[in-house]
Amino acid sequence: MNKAISAHAEATEGALKQAAISLAEAGFRVFRLRPKEKVPLAKGWQDQATDDPEAVARLWDARPQANIGVATGGGIVVVDVDRKDGKDGDESIRLVAESTDLAGYRVTTPSGGYHLYFHSEQPVRNRTSLLLGVDIRADGGYVVGPGSEIDGKSYELVDGRIAPAPGWLSDLLAMDHRTLEAEEPDGPIPKGRRNDALFKVACSLRGKGLRERQIYGVLTQENERCDAPLPDVELQRIAESAAAYPDSSGIDISGLSPKNLTTQSNPDNPLRFRLSDWMASRFLGPPPEIDWLIEGVIPHGVPGLFAGLGGIGKSYMLLDLAFKVASASTELVLGGRIAKHGKAVVLTAEDGQNAIHRRLGNIADETARKAVSERLCVVPLPDAGGTPPLLEEGDKGLTMTAQWAGLLEQINELGEVVLVVIDPLQAFLRAKIDQDNAAGQLWWSEVSAACAKLDTTFLVAHHMRKLAINSTASAMDAREGIRGATALVDGARFVYALWVASESEVEHAEDLLGCNIGPADMAHGAIVKANDIHDHLVRDFVRDPVGGILIDRSGELTELIARTKTIPQDVIDDLFAEIKCRFDNAATSPKETFSAEPNAGDRYLVNYMRDTLGIKKWVAKPYIDSWVKNGCLKSEVVNKGSKTKGLKVIRVPRFREIGI
């Protein structure tokens, strides 16, 4: 263990891998944490921790951006010294230790504190608040290793040689600082007792004077003792609830319980954030690139709404997306390529098991379905006990339910879930989401927190108003047509909408594709609301006549439109010669001149181009509008008595003068 590590690496993919290998070569057992976080990448990290350099290399090849966790215990004790939130652990340490006793393997932390690694022959358990701002990580615990990065700041190795535990540390470890009998004892915490056990720990810490943020930090470590760790959002609620009680070492926690944690508030900091933590210094340097789920369309790690009329096919499209995420597909989806693959979860409240089975059969063959059998989870709730409420309104107002906490817990247990689909939203809520902005705000706030903590994208299906079927002509119209209170759209980080194509658009597509398209079998789709950079293009979807799923045919239609839109120059020359001839003869035949007005009947130039030249109306009209706008054609009176106007040639366009 006394082997020195020569250099610490910066938080880049290759450097993280090398830093992890160096730690393993020095005898430390390492495992992966979530990128830029302190949380283990997956449950069971204790079993994954290894000091085999080759095994470590394979782990980081699979997730090169993962931060590094260093397992403590087994002879390694780490003194975690904090210098934040009014605590100065360094000052506490120096009250009991000489400066020479602080030499050895030292890693500075982003908060300004540091980790001191020592070797101990005796078993040591994890301890919190050993001194003010000082914790102990030992048997069953872990710390973030050097080379890792959080909030743009790195854990940096200062000295790489481990010393034996000094006398002052042994003396402190021999002392019993537990002040409450109700504090949870060491050892694994089984399911069924997790909330209660961690709540007791939180109340014990509150009785010692710790505040919410400090309690939460301890709970993230204590949570690893649970057979199945609680979701991070649940830890936040427990910490918030405990912090609401008075600061007293004599607090009686025997009658306290973690129920209704969402109704508690922290009087120390009701804002739940501190302005001093968010100064402009956090935004120096090059900005991070967007982490995409679908390149240019759907960002990863944030919640979004997927809206459309009932029956348009949004559920089918979302199932297809989930399958492609799980199968590492490189196909285009919604106009972009899937940039992040992993496990996907679909909760559908409207489709049964047989319907899902048929749809998956249309999406992929048996071999492809077997390939995702452990990566795609589809729960047809009508056949799985019914739809659980995730948000409800009761006597105590709006709250997230125990079922919501349970869902997050199971997502965390699955590990590496990158997409969760909830379909449709209304089925999962026991609140007036269509009318109550507060319900929408609470929903998106909770889902955003879950996305951040689980490193997952939540995509929530929702309906549009039925009136939108005849009134949606653009992406902006589609946004206005989404059903519900304004917070339902405004609170989402992005909104993708599907709306039915107009009758003329369907006819246009039929001409181009050479096939019959039903009135509800063509739709447009686009991002109609986003908080960041995104693809503004409107996509064109046509329903597959066999499988029934909407297929993106935008590229094909665009190519066909470009090909058919181009009017050859010789045809334009002949057309302008005809326009000129008719205008020159206007004195004797004024009604033979052409007009750019649709109500001109046979004189309407669009009709002549269609009937005589075989040019589609939707192609002819933009040309004519552009020629008039660009001064190639001008409308002038050809008969003063009837005030009839005809088109006059001002100049013949020498190239494709069309402003569309």
Task: Among 516, 535, 562, give the residue marking a domain's end.
Answer: 562
Q: Do the Cβ atoms of 39 and 216 come closer than 8 Å?
A: no
Cα separation, 651 vs 648, in Å, equals: 9
Nearest 10 degrees: Cα torsion 190, 194, 199, 201: 40
Least confident range from 192-196, 398-402, 612-616: namely 192-196
Same domain, residue pair 121 and 199: no
CATH number for 396 = 3.40.50.300
Local confidence band at 522 (pLDDT 50, 70, 90 cut-offs): very high
Give which of 597, 564, 477, 601 is closest to 529, Cα–Cα. Answer: 477
Q: Is residue 187 part of a domain?
A: no
Cα separation, 461 vs 309, in Å, equals: 10
Q: Which residue is listed with tokens 């993230």? A: 220
Q: Which domain holds residue 419?
A: 292-562
Same domain, residue pair 371 and 415: yes
Which residues share a beta bridge with 195? Answer: none
Same domain, residue pair 107 and 242: no
CB burial class (10 A; 0-12, 13-18, 19+) of residue 579? buried
Local confidence band at 256 (pLDDT 50, 70, 90 cut-offs): very low
Residues 347-369 pLDDT 10s:
999 999 999 999 999 999 999 99
Report, as an integer, the average pLDDT of 248-263: 37
Q: Is residue 658 part of a domain?
A: no
Same domain, residue pair 166 and 95: yes
Residues 6+ apart with CB under 8 A from 52: 24
Which H or E run contains 403?
Answer: helix 402-414
Q: Is residue 160 part of a domain?
A: yes
Cβ-based neighbour number of residue 51 at 10 Å: 16
Cα separation, 130 vs 175, in Å, equals: 9
Query: What separation in angstroms does the CA of 346 have from each of 321, 412, 444, 458, 586?
Result: 10, 15, 18, 10, 69
User: Which of the given ranges, 440-449, 576-585, 635-644, has the highest pLDDT on average?
Assistant: 576-585
Same domain, residue pair 154 and 199: no
- Check residue 281 and give its pLDDT: 76
Q: Quick check: helix, strand or coil at residue 544?
A: coil
Task: Among 562, 589, 612, give the residue marking a domain's end.
Answer: 562
The number of distinct structural domains making up the chain is: 4
Cα separation, 184 vs 495, in Å, equals: 45
User: Which of the given ranges, 125-139, 146-160, 468-482, has the highest pLDDT on average?
Assistant: 146-160
CB burial class (10 A; 0-12, 13-18, 19+) of residue 96? middle
Q: Is residue 474 part of a domain?
A: yes
Per the confidence metrics, is the pTM higher than 0.85? no
Q: Do the Cβ atoms of 108 and 155 come closer than 8 Å?
A: yes
Structure-token pair, residue 654:
């020498």
Give which of 57, 47, 55, 63 is closest to 19, Cα–Cα. Answer: 57
pLDDT at 264 over 80: no
Q: Do the Cβ atoms of 531 and 555 come closer than 8 Å?
A: no
Residues 539-551 pLDDT 10s:
999 999 888 899 9
Give which of 329, 304, 301 is closest to 314, Cα–Cα. Answer: 304
φ/ψ of residue 164, rounded to 5? -65, 155
Same domain, residue pair 251 and 303: no
Same domain, residue pair 451 and 476: yes
- Check residue 48 and give its pLDDT: 87
Cβ-based neighbour number of residue 465 at 10 Å: 15
- Check residue 84 and give its pLDDT: 79
Task: Provide, rounded to the nearest whole percent, the portion of the chain with pLDDT above 70.
Answer: 86
Cα separation, 547 vs 361, in Å, equals: 9
pLDDT at 251 over 50: no
Sequence-ordered alpha helix ranges (H) in 247-385: 314-327, 353-363, 366-371
Residues 96-124 pLDDT 10s:
666 556 777 889 998 889 999 998 887 88
Which residues share a beta bridge with 189? Answer: 226
- Check residue 248 and give its pLDDT: 44
pLDDT at 2 over 60: no
Same domain, residue pair 359 and 455: yes
Same domain, residue pair 503 and 627: no
Q: Do the Cβ atoms of 18 and 12 come closer than 8 Å?
A: no
φ/ψ of residue 569, rounded to 5? -60, -35
Q: Do the Cβ atoms of 93 and 166 come closer than 8 Å?
A: no
Same domain, residue pair 388 and 524: yes
Residues 6+ apart with CB under 8 A from 250: 207
CATH number for 147 = 3.30.2250
Same domain, residue pair 613 and 487: no
Cα separation, 145 vs 78, in Å, equals: 11
Q: Is residue 4 part of a domain?
A: no
Task: Among 562, 580, 604, give the residue marking a domain's end.
Answer: 562
Q: Is residue 577 part of a domain?
A: yes
Same domain, residue pair 555 and 571: no
Report, as an integer, the average pLDDT of 310-333: 91
Q: Is residue 655 part of a domain?
A: no
Q: Count helices and strands (H / E) in the chain.
A: 20, 30
Q: Is residue 7 part of a domain?
A: no
Q: Round the average pLDDT of the chain to a whole number and report it.
A: 82
pLDDT at 262 over 80: no
CB burial class (10 A; 0-12, 13-18, 19+) of residue 578? middle
